[in-house]
Amino acid sequence: MNNSKLNIGHLSNTDLLTRFGKLVQTERKITHLVLECIAEIDARKLYLDKAYSSLYEFLVQEFGYSSSAALRRIESARLLREVPELAEKIESGAINLSQLSKVQQAVRAVQKIEDRKIDLEEKKELLNRIEHTTQQQTEVILCQALSLPVLEENKERIHRDESVTLTITLSKEQMAILKQAQDLIAHALPKQNWADAITYLAKKEIQRRTKLKESRIPTPVAGAAPKANTNNIPTNTQFLGDADRKTLRTSVKKTLLNQHRCCQFKDRDSGKICGSTRFLQVDHRQAVWAGGTNDIQNLQILCAQHNQHKYRQESFIV
């Protein structure tokens, strides 16, 4: 490293700029190659085998990308898969990752607001229009072309003590709703600040949904016949909330969830466990249709992504 610095220090101004230009060109070429790899990993869902429940977690935890860098690359990779000619634009510097991320955000906004999908030709036209423009110019072009309000960044900044600063933009209607909610819970909060109000509302919603989920768990009826599989498809999973819960005692499910509060899918190579706590489901290690039983030794907790991934693998084997 010291030799490299010494060599750079002895370069003439012209040679230094020439070298820098070549490195930038190489960086852009590598960037589009990285995106192509990410797109292929996404298509094959290879992150699931590595015990990650999402491509985002895979890039952040396995490869050390920051949250924003991972999101930009994922969105850019998916757009590159749709529009392969983007590779040349990225390598030439005509378009960068931040611009591609803006395009994807705008596309999702149109889908949400107007309930319509933007076709491939319209995406190509947008990409042509934002070539060689700044971030601000890109936002204006996208908003004007798609009749959208100016896009605002939602930012999350984590501090040394693990506290977090959120920067969000609310519409007039959203702010009115949040203010009304804050007024309704004013009696329960000693201090009137948004952090306390949002946390209080979030806790109440979690409690409500938890009680609702528990109330939907049916009580097993002695002697009741098992529900027929109307789809005639063998299943190897017991979804939390399914009508087929009668075949698996609630006490067994609670025991499993108390023992394992996260997804237990394990990467065979590294031994890494997924650990996701979202959308947990009870799964049969050996599928019921393959002779598996409801014994607790044959049960495990998986997140929805890995449950489906496991089922696809077993279906392929069969």
Residues 6+ apart with CB under 8 A from 110: 116, 118, 146, 148
- Whether residue 263 is predicted with pLDDT greater than 70 in this model: the reply is yes
To the nearest whole percent, how much of the chain has pLDDT over 90?
A: 41
Residue 300's pLDDT band (boundaries 50, 70, 90)?
very high
280-298 mean pLDDT: 86
- Whether residue 4 is predicted with pLDDT greater than 80 in this model: the reply is no
- Whether residue 111 is predicted with pLDDT greater than 60 in this model: the reply is yes
Instruction: Name which residue leads in pLDDT, 7 or 141.
Output: 141
- Whether residue 178 is predicted with pLDDT greater than 80 in this model: the reply is yes
**What pLDDT shows up at residue 77?**
95
- The model's pLDDT over 223-234, given as tens digits with 9 standing for 90+, comes to 554 444 444 433
Write down the H helix ranges in 147-302. Answer: 172-184, 194-215, 250-259
Residues 6+ apart with CB under 8 A from 137: 130
**What pLDDT shows up at residue 221?**
52
**What pLDDT shows up at residue 244?**
41
- Whether residue 309 is predicted with pLDDT greater than 50 in this model: the reply is yes
Sheet holding 237-238, edge to edge: 237-238, 280-284, 299-303
Residue 312's pLDDT band (boundaries 50, 70, 90)?
confident
| Domain locations in the chain as residue ranges | 2-146, 170-215, 237-317
d(CA 149, CA 109): 10
Pair 188, 200: CB distance under 8 Å: yes
**SS3 (DSSP) at 141:** helix
Pair 38, 54: CB distance under 8 Å: no
101-107 mean pLDDT: 91
Write down the H helix ranges in 130-232. Answer: 135-146, 172-184, 194-215
Average pLDDT, the chain: 83
- Whether residue 19 is predicted with pLDDT greater than 70 in this model: the reply is yes
d(CA 131, CA 185): 49
Residue 317's pLDDT band (boundaries 50, 70, 90)?
low
289-318 mean pLDDT: 83
Write down the H helix ranges in the chain. Answer: 2-9, 13-44, 46-49, 55-57, 63, 67-82, 86-92, 97-114, 120-129, 135-146, 172-184, 194-215, 250-259, 304-317
Q: Pick the range with the lowest mean pLDDT from 178-187, 239-248, 254-263.
A: 239-248
**What pLDDT shows up at residue 79?**
94
